Amino acid sequence: MSETPHISVDALTKRFGSITAVSDLTLTFEGGQIVGLLGPNGAGKTTTLQTIMGLKTPTAGDVRINRVSVQSPEIASVRRRIGYLPEQPVLYDYLTGREFVQFLGQLYDAALDFDDWLTDSLDTLEMGQDADRLIRTYSMGMRKKIAFLAAMVHRPNILIFDEPTGSLDASSARVVKDQMQMARDQGALVLFTTHVMEIAERLADRIVILNHGSLVADGTLREIKEAHGQPGGGTLEEIFLRLTASPDYAERAAG
């Protein structure tokens, strides 16, 4: 990949009326790493990803992808190198799974040759027999698989995945995680959210924890354990719960 992927989040704030979803958030992400973005519900994870993708407009601050502001007209061409997988993908119900991925691939690049890749990928995700059924007949897990393939069809070098293994069976989740690692090894930047601490521990090179829209921890698993673990160590889950605990929970835990 010729261009090293790069995302910078600069003092990002996003408000919805009186609610601040993201507060003065500053982070930098580089290619060749998998970053796990963690936080409880309402921490600002999805809002951050949606702002990167242009689905939300910053209230203050900025996000730059490959040094181009998401508020610049030039960002549209930059986003063509991004693969985006939302937690609940919106697909075209009256296309088949195969047609949907083909449609997205042709939108990205009409000359892109991906037929062999698509056939192999459908089989790997155990979707080969269902690829020519209408999406409206699919389960949530099947829809997630097709959305994943649609996010990967154009060979992106930035992957933005919101709960990528949600609704997937164990074998398909393994395929998705393997693909994320392969993309990282080829120089891509992979940014994903998850509520499953074990996935973050095993997959992420770097872990970022948000709470109430603010950054509370950032580093490798080892660095986070050294900075925030209690004497004798502690699991990521224990550290996460302590850093993001409500005052009531913290008081009960201390008692």
pLDDT digits (tens, 9 = 90+) for 160-189: 999 999 999 999 999 999 999 999 999 999
Q: What is the mean pLDDT of the chain?
A: 93
The angle, 0 to 180 degrees and rounded to 10, between the axes of the packed helices 97-108 and 115-124 is 140
* Beta strand pairing call for 82-85 and 158-162: parallel
Domains and CATH numbers, the chain: 6-254 (3.40.50.300)
pLDDT digits (tens, 9 = 90+) for 77-97: 999 999 999 999 999 999 999
- Which pLDDT score is estimated for 255? 45
Helix (H) or strand (E) holding 252: helix 247-254
The angle, 0 to 180 degrees and rounded to 10, between the axes of the packed helices 97-108 and 140-152 is 20
Lowest average pLDDT, out of 174-188, 203-217, 230-244, goes to 230-244
The C-alpha atoms of residue 183 and residue 155 are separated, in whole angstroms, by: 9
- Which pLDDT score is estimated for 57? 96
Question: Between residues 139 and 252, which one has the greater pLDDT?
Answer: 139
The angle, 0 to 180 degrees and rounded to 10, between the axes of the packed helices 140-152 and 115-124 is 150
pLDDT digits (tens, 9 = 90+) for 6-50: 999 999 999 999 999 999 999 999 999 999 999 999 999 999 999
The C-alpha atoms of residue 146 and residue 127 are separated, in whole angstroms, by: 9
The C-alpha atoms of residue 6 and residue 4 are separated, in whole angstroms, by: 6
* Beta strand pairing call for 214-219 and 206-211: antiparallel
- Looking at residue 248, its amino acid is D
* pTM exceeding the 0.85 threshold for the entire prediction: yes
SS (H, E, C) 51-83: HHCCCCCCCEEEEEECCEECCCCCHHHHHHHEE
Q: What is the residue whose two structure tokens read 């393939």?
A: 149
The answer on pLDDT for 99 being more than 60 is: yes
- Which pLDDT score is estimated for 3? 74
Give the model's confidence band at 212: pLDDT under 50 very low, under 70 low, under 90 confident, else very high. Answer: very high
The C-alpha atoms of residue 123 and residue 130 are separated, in whole angstroms, by: 10
